[in-house]
Amino acid sequence: MGPVANDQLYATIRLYEQGVVTADAAIEMLKTHKLFNQLSFHTVKVIPLLKFTESIEV
């Protein structure tokens, strides 16, 4: 389990690479991004162990 980058993060990096924002500005922008955790399963053996608990409409 670990943090996942989203499109906003990549947009900030592109702005820095294009010279639109300075390194310091990019770092400040990145600090405000909320990171979300993602689970990664690497074998089908885990599927029987998974249990659906709820869904949330966004």
Provide the pLDDT for residue 39: 77
Give tens-digit pLDDT for 2-51: 566 667 788 888 999 999 999 999 988 888 767 677 777 889 999 999 99
pTM, 2 dp: 0.50
Boundaries of every domain in the chain: 2-49
Return d(Cα 27, Cα 12) in angstroms, integer: 9
* Predicted local distance difference test score (pLDDT) of residue 56: 92
Whether residue 45 contacts residue 12, with contact meaning beta carbons closer than 8 Å, is answered with: no
How crowded is residue 21: how many other Cβ atoms within 10 Å of its Cβ?
A: 17
User: How confident is the model at residue 17, as a pLDDT?
Assistant: 95
The per-residue pLDDT for 10 is 83
pLDDT computed for residue 14 by the predictor: 92
Rg (CA), the chain: 17
